[in-house]
Structure 1
């Protein structure tokens, strides 16, 4: 079995989780990670024994690592040359600049949701359009909210078809540990339609989607309410059966104590998941209601980790490790331990 060599550019919220995700894949090798300076994440990596080789994205910053006794294996450019594919988890806009480096060495790269769509050959989602990513050089992932939203809508669409969806996103304002948004006591409404609805239509052009987004002063996850119009009338029980079969969707009950985003974050920590991460979205069973043919439900989006499985899918598609959609996502799920709650 040929091991696909993978590098991660950017070792922040997403990058460190991508590194862990790749390291768990038995058919991939994590060559190393790169960052611009000795951030807290990099310092923690050193304190953990530096399980991943570290590269500097800014060569002149090597002295900053040296001063702290953090070994550096080389530059980002050197890391790129050693890899088959790079997962770019740098800040929005930086990935587009890094693309020139990836193209220089004819390497494949996968960008995150913060980059503009024109950075890539295809706007990618593992379940919804895996086939479009097969063999492509540059792929771009959807944002955390869009990733989870598409999982749920695609699940219904493949069973009975979906005509349209209307969504409301109750969006966490910042990640845990961030200070740049300030201390707030307010809700903020964005101009409609939200980009997540537009992005869904880019991935699933046959579905009419619109949506509203509300920023909330919390950090642990988003909640999305979805009002879907399926092409075939379905009951609540049928929808629950669809979701319950999906290894990246966890059905939870308010009656069991899953009252919202904080309950799920706490549960992830109780499970012993590193950083309290959850790869799956959660559907609140008691939120499912019918209105004529329409059906409504609410999902939880764990924003720090939800995109990791789709990034792994993107590697599989771009490198043609699996050319069948279900085979590709199944391999990712297996190594990430997805769907264990279904056993």
Structure 2
């Protein structure tokens, strides 16, 4: 069993912790919190061991939460740490992981240099196996990588251009925005998504614009891919249908709001959508060029990749598709849409 600790119990951390508990080859050592807020109380209610900074033990105990130990002790009890601390904080914890001789998975909010490589389960699992530190791509870049991977199964790609309309904040984030208007974020282009994708697809030209929208539900991408040879609509749709963690929906769903509502009423945990969801009727094929639109649920899309990254670091599963299969089966990926 791989002993896993989750450092941070916010939007991503709580979801990764829940996912780790479902894996047949992993044991959740515990999670960390730096202040005794409602998420710390939630962790206790879920029966999780909560580890805290040593200087905060008294504050937690005064709030009725008895910590299971310090964050340093949690790290020492683990084989792999999933660092889900706020953006930019993870880099400050790397020294702790190094000192303890432990491997770690960082999130996309950290700069690429925090890890030995950026990671996407479908693209580079085998190439990064056994490294010490991996960085999960951001939610938007994860969505882009999955779709580019699917399209690369159709034929050789020449270039990809994309427009990322990203949510302004997660539902619980009261201090972010905008609450009105659209913000063109990537000036000058490309946005950081293209730069991150260059690590995974070094021979592919990728250009991206990013727009921030006043919504909390999901991102939406419009992608334009140019192939080196003409492709058919059927081959593109077939590749999308067959790619893990990519789902295709019809015209009965026309918005990210309806998609999230369906997930909630379909009984998805937290109302989460792990898949990139492509609108099938948005797929437009003209000779060498393919255009399509899809949704990316920012709170959930990276969770399966975090789980696979743990196996890649420990080399406990050699075939990426075996790891993807285990993760997706336990999380119910593509079983509800």
TM-score grouping bracket, smaller chain normalisation: over 0.9
Instruction: From the superposition, tell whether residues 7 and 209 of structure 1 become closer, same or farther in structure 2 (CA, over 3 Å).
Output: same
Aligned residues: 335
Counterpart position of 1:29: 27
Contact 1:25 1:335 (8 Å CA) reproduced: yes
Counterpart position of 2:207: 210
Alignment match of 1:73 (pick from 68, 71, 74): 68
Matched, 1:52 2:31: no
> Which SS does the other structure have where 1:239 is aligned?
helix
- Is there any run of 5+ residues in structure 1 with no aligned partner, and where? none
Normalized against structure 2, the TM-score is what? Answer: 0.96
Deviations 1:289-316 (A, max 9, x none): 1233100000100000100011111111
Distance 1:241 1:158 in 2: 10
Distance 1:119 1:283 in 2: 32
Contact 2:32 2:71 (8 Å CA) reproduced: yes
> Which SS does the other structure have where 1:340 is aligned?
coil
Contact 1:167 1:227 (8 Å CA) reproduced: yes
Shift of 1:26: 0.8
Counterpart position of 2:109: 114
Distance 2:197 2:83 in 1: 22
Deviations 1:59-88 (A, max 9, x none): 211222212211210011000000000000
- Is there any run of 5+ residues in structure 2 with no aligned partner, and where? none
Instruction: From the superposition, tell whether residues 159 and 331 of structure 1 become closer, same or farther in structure 2 (CA, over 3 Å).
Output: farther
Instruction: From the superposition, tell whether residues 8 and 155 of structure 1 become closer, same or farther in structure 2 (CA, over 3 Å).
Output: same
Matched, 1:88 2:83: yes
Counterpart position of 1:195: 192
Matched, 1:305 2:303: no
Counterpart position of 2:98: 103
Normalized against structure 1, the TM-score is what? Answer: 0.94
Distance 1:247 1:101 in 2: 35
Alignment match of 1:270 (pick from 262, 265, 280): 265
Counterpart position of 1:338: 333
Deviations 1:111-153 (A, max 9, x none): 0001111111111111011112200000011000000110011
Instruction: From the superposition, tell whether residues 51 and 152 of structure 1 become closer, same or farther in structure 2 (CA, over 3 Å).
Output: same
Alignment match of 1:230 (pick from 227, 247, 250): 227
